[in-house]
Amino acid sequence: MSSAPRTARGRATRDRILDSALKVFGEVGYHDASIVRITEGAGVAMGTFYLYFEGKLQVFNELVEDLNRRMRHRMTQAIAAAPNRLEAERAGFRAFFAFTTEVPQLYRIIRQAEFVSPEAMHLHYGRIVDGYRKALAAASDAGEIAPVDPEVTAWALMGIGEIIGMRWILWQEGSDGAPPIPDDVFEHTLDFITRALRPDKE
Amino acid sequence: MSSAPRTARGRATRDRILDSALKVFGEVGYHDASIVRITEGAGVAMGTFYLYFEGKLQVFNELVEDLNRRMRHRMTQAIAAAPNRLEAERAGFRAFFAFTTEVPQLYRIIRQAEFVSPEAMHLHYGRIVDGYRKALAAASDAGEIAPVDPEVTAWALMGIGEIIGMRWILWQEGSDGAPPIPDDVFEHTLDFITRALRPDKE
């Protein structure tokens, strides 16, 4: 329902509004976020906001979609060169944690979506699972990983990434931002995943 | 800070307020929940509410603590008779999913806690991890499971339970409540966990 900006300048303005919305929703939560605060943060007039968005819910939904796209893009790029699924998991988790360190607000915004916009939450998880499920099914068929159920496995792996990121990145966030995942935590996480996925020995 | 009720009648009243708070927070979220609505649901006067709780935040915090205790109690009972850690995982996950079906509001309330009361959220996860970590460390030392890192593994297992419960119980909730976990999803989940934990073959 939003008007896609036709000019580079329009796209830049829209991106500035989304950046500001990310900060505001991440800091004070959806309920306490106001369009005034979002436009002030973006340095645009209220009327400009309404050129691109219908209101708070729509900017929230588009923000989830935007973060989701950026996250998947980052992970897809990271795993492109991986020679097999286990290496792809390692590269994918590395990229996921790095994105979480850069954009810790992602978590908070997705958790709020449970109440604010269940559609946005379903879209977020659904799009991630969709690609993940297919990749796991192909790897399982090829014998690169154990004969797992691709859908349950995709969700289980997402759940691991989320909770480890919450505990060791999000909860450690300080005034100078969120830290990277500690190396030992990363290795222990990958050990767990590798055990769960590796093919049975002959 | 709350006054612990000294009589059975007092405890029953306090429990009725917590039950109503569970429904209200689970339905409309913390922000839209009002003490009026909670007392109406409990069938008690406003003055009675303030005998037991200082306000909305305190009833929220005590609710998280109450749910957390009930959930851990259920899981502890379920795994008491398990002959080894892998069987304990099976029984524990079965109990966790059953509790989620009975009290689907638990998820929503914990997710809200991220903004509303980070202390309540840390308490919830912290208490679960604490026992889990020790049990995994003992099982790992005894060779019942692989030599895993107990803390990262405890968090990973919690993350799996949460996301599988969200996808297959919470998201399937209808007007007649939340369904039980489907058998095949449960088995695939336990397959994944068993692979991740089982000791290496000699």
Per-residue pLDDT of A153-173, as tens digits, reads: 999 999 999 999 999 999 999
A192/chain B closest Cα distance in angstroms: 6
B80/chain A closest Cα distance in angstroms: 25
Lookup result for tokens 């107990």:
B150
pLDDT at A79 over 80: yes
Sort B175 into a burial class: Cβ within 10 Å, 0-12 / 13-18 / 19+.
Answer: exposed
What residue in A sits closest to B25 (Cα-Cα)?
A115
Chain A residues in contact with chain B using a Cβ-Cβ cutoff of 8 Å: 29, 31, 107-108, 111-112, 114-115, 122, 125, 146, 148-149, 152-153, 155-156, 158-164, 167, 171, 184-185, 188-189, 191-193, 195-198, 201
Both A130 and A67 in a single domain? Answer: yes
Amino acid at site B44: V
Asked if the structure places residue A202 within a domain, the reply is: no
pLDDT at A202 over 60: no
Q: For residue B177, list its beta bridge partners.
A: B174
Q: Among partner residues A111, A112, A152, which is closest to B189 by beta-carbon distance? A: A152
Q: Give the count of domains, chain A.
A: 2
Q: Cα B157 to chain center, whole Å?
A: 14
Q: For residue B174, list its beta bridge partners.
A: B177
Asked if the structure places residue A47 within a domain, the reply is: yes
Both B90 and B109 in a single domain? Answer: yes
The answer to whether the beta carbons of residues A158 and B146 sit under 8 Å apart is no
A13/chain B closest Cα distance in angstroms: 29
Euclidean distance between the first and the last CA atom of chain A, given in angstroms as a whole number: 55
Residues from chain A contacting residue B161 (CB–CB below 8 Å): 159
What distances in angstroms separate CA B120 from CA B31, B83, B175, one per listed residue?
Answer: 16, 33, 29
Region of B73 on the Ramachandran plot (φ > 0 left; ψ -120 to 50 alpha; else beta):
alpha
Closest CA to B148 of A183, A196, A54: A196
Both A166 and A126 in a single domain? Answer: yes
H helix runs in chain A, sequence order: 8-32, 35-42, 46-52, 56-79, 85-102, 105-116, 118-141, 150-168, 183-197
Asked if the structure places residue B139 within a domain, the reply is: yes
Both A41 and A63 in a single domain? Answer: no
Asked if the structure places residue A16 within a domain, the reply is: yes
What distances in angstroms separate CA A159 from CA A8, A23, A156, A190, B58, one per listed residue?
Answer: 38, 25, 5, 14, 29
Asked if the structure places residue B202 within a domain, the reply is: no
pLDDT digits (tens, 9 = 90+) for B83-127: 999 999 999 999 999 999 999 988 888 888 877 888 999 999 999
Domain end point (choices B30, B54, B78): B54
Both B61 and B48 in a single domain? Answer: no
Q: Identify the residue among A105, A128, A152 best suited for mutation to test binding to B, counting B beta carbons within 10 A and taking the highest.
A: A152
Q: Residue B20: which CATH number?
A: 1.10.10.60
Q: At what angle do helices A85-102 and A150-168 cross, to 10 degrees?
A: 40
Asked if the structure places residue B74 within a domain, the reply is: yes
Both B49 and B81 in a single domain? Answer: no
Handedness of CA B161, B166, B172, B175 (dihedral sign): positive
Residue A43, φ and ψ in degrees, nearest 5:
70, 35
Give the C-alpha separation, B163 to A160, whole Å: 9
Q: Residue A134: which CATH number?
A: 1.10.357.10
Both A74 and A7 in a single domain? Answer: no
CB–CB contact B159 A155 (8 Å):
no
CB count in 10 Å sphere of residue A177? 10
Q: What ipTM, to 2 d.p.?
A: 0.93
Residues from chain B contacting residue A189 (CB–CB below 8 Å): 152, 156
pLDDT at B40: 97
Residue A4, φ and ψ in degrees, nearest 5:
-75, 130
pLDDT digits (tens, 9 = 90+) for A21-60: 999 998 888 888 999 999 999 999 999 999 999 999 999 9
User: pLDDT by residue for chain B (202 residues), tens digit each?
Assistant: 456 788 899 999 999 999 999 999 988 888 889 999 999 999 999 999 999 999 999 999 999 999 999 999 999 999 999 999 999 999 999 999 999 999 998 888 888 887 788 899 999 999 999 999 999 999 999 999 999 999 999 999 999 999 999 999 999 999 899 999 999 999 999 999 999 999 986 5
Residue B32 neighbours by CB under 8 Å, 6+ apart: none
Both B91 and B146 in a single domain? Answer: yes
Asked if the structure places residue A129 within a domain, the reply is: yes
Both A131 and A36 in a single domain? Answer: no
Cβ contacts from A onto B, under 8 A: 93
The range of the structural domain enclosing residue A32 comes to 1-54
Both A124 and A27 in a single domain? Answer: no
